[in-house]
Amino acid sequence: MKRFILSIAILLGIVFLLLLLIANKLSDITVTGQPEAKIHYENKVIVLLYHDVQEPDAAGMPRLLTVTPNQFDAHLKALKDHGYQIIGMEDYVRFARQGKPVPPNAVVLTFDDGYESFYTRAYPILQKHSVPASNFVIGAPSDTNDPKKGQYLTWSQMRELIRAGHGIYSHTYDSHRMVDTAPKGPQQPALTHPVYLAQMKRAESAEEFRKRILSDLTFMNERLRTELGDRSKLLAFPYGAYDRETLQAADEAGIELLFTTREGINTAADRLVHRIDAGEPYITADALIATISKYHKMNDNNL
């Protein structure tokens, strides 16, 4: 009886060793088939900038400030294939404002202007890749919903986007426009220049200008809160234009982060956020990866 029990114990031991060898071999296969993603940078975030997602025009010509659906899809695939990790805007805000960690190779996707194509064309592609994006919208077109002024997101569409994990933030209420600054002078961005008041034959005073832009920023914050609920107060500058008065008004409006069109990579110390332009018809997936990589090559050498 004892000899029988001993034989069984030896047999079980041999089976256990065989299973252990098989498990180790499978582990080797898994590691070989799925190599660990390369760390390009840590404790930094790259923010990409898009505007519109459209097919080429009737003549087959690409449209400025647009990518095609296939092009955008290729961008997202390339980012994943090269080890970049797309994070949501609120994760980025916690990184920038509270020092919370972000994954290596972190990327944030942003769109400007609030075009309806973000819902009709970009949204399905974002769902396909299971990644979030954020849109900086202009309030007035969504309130008036005038087709003659273009197709913009509705508040209902924005609410659905938020439920799906995407972000909606401010691109001003009605300051994404060029204004006269003198009777015959050049037009300039409304958020950075006093308007010429033709009926009064003078330009806005410094105080009138300050009140106008502060009123615009605070009203847009309130419209977003009313329609979409509480969220971080963020602003993308129209045309990428800002000056000392704009920064002061944004501070008074309680805006936490300001998004520019200057290219670069961001640390947690950057309140003026750099964004890399990804939204032009000539930017292929390979070109996008090449552009991104130049901002972290120095970081690669330090790892």
Tens of pLDDT, residues 66-107: 999 999 999 999 999 999 999 999 999 999 999 999 999 999
Instruction: List the beta bridge partners of residue 85.
Output: 106
DSSP state of 117: H
**In terms of pLDDT, which residue wins out, 200 or 19?**
200
When comparing pLDDT for 214 and 3, which is higher?
214
Q: How far is the C-alpha of 218 from the C-alpha of 230, rounded, in Å? A: 14
Q: Which residues of 208-242 are buried (b: 16+ CB within 10 A; e: fewer)?
A: ebbebbbebbbbbbebbeebbeebbbbbbbbeeeb
Q: How far is it, in rounded angstroms, from Cα 100 to Cα 240?
A: 27
- The set of residues, in sequence order, having a beta carbon less than 8 Å from that of 173 and lying 6+ positions away, is 138, 139, 140, 216, 217, 219, 220, 223
Q: Are 46 and 107 in contact (CB under 8 A)?
A: yes
**Whole-angstrom distance, CA of residue 287 vs CA of residue 303:** 24
pTM given for the model: 0.85
Is the pLDDT confidence value at 27 over 60?
Answer: no
What is the predicted pLDDT for the residue at 57? 78
Confidence band of 186 (pLDDT split at 50, 70, 90): confident
Give the orientation angle of helix 69-81 with respect to helix 285-294, to 10 degrees: 50
Q: Dump pLDDT digits (tens) for 137-159.
A: 999 999 987 776 779 999 999 99
